[in-house]
Structure 1
């Protein structure tokens, strides 16, 4: 039975790809991009291991609509066997859905550049199961910062070096308009949604999406002034 180091799964996600999506975040990443907002996913913690079948069962239990599945991390490609098994399962589930018109796309984020991912047979096989990937390390200085930045904002990407790469006809239909585009208008840029989870360790607040540089510190400052203490946060060393 193949297991996946899993950081989090959430539905609905509306900030990481088009439509209403299921989000899956893997646990474990050695890239350690400066300015990463998800430092809590860096450690490859064996205690976060779950069977791929469990994740697929969660997907199958979701209500409609599900327009796509977004897989991020952590670094998904650092678990190639588990990622491949997950993608095979998602594609089988998708093929079994009784849908006449609305297709479900698969989007995977990676901090590796696309040329590296497409170089070896194992990762090429994984790419063949994706409809689109967003690749490249997060570069903090290439994230347009500040509420009044004149640099515009990036759709579904954290920094301007990252590439949106459609890999299938469905991927080209849904992601082709933003593939290779460096900037988009302010109104269509990164957005953030909030998820509150109750767990054994107490209440945790997750911010899902891709904020601009400085947005999280701005949010923390405003919460502090309102008397809401954020405690430990994943975007600080």
Structure 2
């Protein structure tokens, strides 16, 4: 069984794709896009490696409904073999309610590189849609599902086109953020607009919240 470096797992995720989802964030990214909100996922950390089966077992234990799984990071396609194994296992998971589950992967690689890269093919054939392209802070205009408007949302299956095609994206409306608490940590899930995080930090500090560090300046 392959091992995948994992930053975190979360359920439910309601802002990174269709419906109620499981979120898998991988650890490790060499792209280092300026302004990335997840700088804490850049550094490769062997101590975060987990058996793909353990991630699948976590997914099996989740309560329904589960409309899909979103994989982000970090850079998922820098672990193409384990990513393909994870996606294959997710494809095999039964759906208790008879619903349809989609697999959505976010990547900082441009779509032509993913499309033409032989090592990425096995994982791509298992995706319903991919959000592809590097994050460019000055082009963060609030586009649905895209951190910046140079990125592409590429549907790869009929289900992907139904949920992430142009007409579906038009229905997404404004971006939303999801905030969760884990002990003393606050986690922001979603795609913030430019300067949203700085404004949120300033407003919370004005309300008496003490910040010891942030992932986007890690």
- TM bucket normalised to smaller: over 0.9
Q: State the partner residue of 1:78.
A: 78
User: Residue 196 of structure 1: which of 171, 177, 181 is its match?
Assistant: 181
Asked if 2 retains the 8 angstrom alpha-carbon contact of 1:156 and 1:189, the reply is no
Please report the TM-score for the alignment, with normalisation by the length of structure 1.
0.88
User: Residue 154 of structure 2: which of 142, 159, 165 is its match?
Assistant: 165
Deviation at 1:98, TM superposition (A): 4.4
Q: State the partner residue of 2:65.
A: 65
Q: State the partner residue of 1:108.
A: 105
- How many residues of Structure 1 are paired with residues of Structure 2 in the alignment? 218
Asked if 2 retains the 8 angstrom alpha-carbon contact of 1:157 and 1:190, the reply is no
Asked if 1 retains the 8 angstrom alpha-carbon contact of 2:64 and 2:97, the reply is no
Asked if 1 retains the 8 angstrom alpha-carbon contact of 2:39 and 2:215, the reply is yes
Displaced runs of 4 or more, over 6 A: none
Q: Distance in 2 between matches of 1:21 and 1:137?
A: 24
In structure 2, the residue corresponding to 1:207 is in which secondary structure? strand
Deviation at 1:55, TM superposition (A): 0.3
- 1:216 pairs with 2:216: no
Deviation at 1:99, TM superposition (A): 4.3
In structure 1, the residue corresponding to 2:58 is in which secondary structure? helix
Task: Report the CA distance shift for 1:8/1:178 in structure 2 as closer, same or farther (over 3 A).
Answer: farther
Stretch of structure 1 that moved more, 57-66 or 113-122: 113-122
Please report the TM-score for the alignment, with normalisation by the length of structure 2.
0.95
In structure 1, the residue corresponding to 2:77 is in which secondary structure? helix
Q: State the partner residue of 2:25.
A: 25
Q: State the partner residue of 1:97.
A: 95
Q: State the partner residue of 2:186.
A: 205
Unaligned runs of 5+ in 1: 145-152
- 1:117 pairs with 2:114: yes
In structure 1, the residue corresponding to 2:53 is in which secondary structure? helix
Q: RMSD of the TM alignment (CA)?
A: 1.6
Q: Distance in 2 between matches of 1:128 and 1:23?
A: 20
In structure 1, the residue corresponding to 2:166 is in which secondary structure? coil
